[in-house]
Amino acid sequence: MSCNRRVKQRLGDVVAVVPAWNEAADVGRVVAGIRALGLDVIVVDDFSSDRTAAVARDAGARVLRLPIHAGSWTAMQTGFRAALESGYDRVVTLDADGQHDPQDIPQLLSCAAGAERSERPPGVVIASCLSRGNRRRKLAWRFLRLLSGLGVADLTSGFRLYDREAVELLASSECTLLEYQDVGVLLHLHRKGIRLAEFDVDMNPRCHGQSRIFSSWRVVGHYLVYSALLSISRRHYGSRRTDVFAPGTG
């Protein structure tokens, strides 16, 4: 049986979670692309001041609206908890700004399906795009790889597939105080014994707005200090190198 056929047969246990804050210009296109694959979509609206919620709902998403602007990680964790409550076993996460192409989701699923034959299949598959890195982003990647000990090339990609064990860990109260879906998330999962895998994809440039982490050196500085402190504290409890592999190599 081909990987593509296996993927099509197993879409029912997968849901896409898309955190969104003031992304009315792009979220409808993202949701429509995901729905075209036959996947359900949960959009978590982080108290947007525009029509993000209405646009996402019109495109076919289930929309959860936060009562305050709580940040991207709170929105993501809300989506994880909703996915578990609805009985899904795996979660694909995408940004609402259109950078992540829904057409790459089958490749995520195929990579996970192929890796299931290995002795320790990955709990997280990351779609990486190193070519998108500007000077600030590449500096952050290099610094955080050094501090965290993680072997992941693209630490900040939000385009990921999580299995049920990983989703349950991230939905727990232990992860509530995380701020971003990147280094802290991967360190926590690694410390719990979750294997990580990544593969390369192309990503689209943002059509509207700019990165909220890499928009200026001041914001990057805050992000690096936060992530550095988190990396040091997490490494104290679990200093193993990350077991990252290229999908298909087992």
**HEC assignment per residue over 172-204:** CHHHCCCCCCCHHHHHHHHHCCCCEEEEECCCC
Return the residue matching tokens 């693209």: 154
Is 245 among the domain residues?
no
pLDDT-wise least confident of 27-41, 121-135, 139-153, 204-218 = 204-218
- Output the pTM of the full model: 0.83
Rg (CA), the chain: 17
Q: pLDDT band for 13, please (50, 70, 90 cuts).
A: very high
Question: In this structure, what CATH number is given to the domain that contains residue 101?
Answer: 3.90.550.10
Is 178 among the domain residues?
yes
Is 249 among the domain residues?
no
**Number of neighbouring beta carbons within 10 Å of residue 188:** 21
Per DSSP, 68 falls in state S
Give me the pLDDT at residue 218, please: 64
Task: Indicate whether 250 pLDDT > 60.
Answer: no
Structural domain of 117: 3-240
CB 160 within 8 A of CB 76: no
Is 250 among the domain residues?
no
Query: Which residues have a Cβ under 8 Å from the Cβ of 96 and sit 6 or more positions away?
Result: 18, 19, 20, 21, 23, 26, 27, 30, 43, 52, 56
Contacts 24+ apart (CB under 8 A), 212-220: 212/72, 213/156, 213/180, 214/134, 214/136, 214/137, 214/140, 217/136, 220/136, 220/139, 220/140
CB 124 within 8 A of CB 157: no
Amino acid at 14: V
Structurally, the chain folds into a number of domains equal to 1
Give me the pLDDT at residue 145, please: 80
Which of 149, 146, 6, 180 has the alpha carbon at shortest distance from 76? 180
Is 247 among the domain residues?
no
Give me the pLDDT at residue 138, please: 75
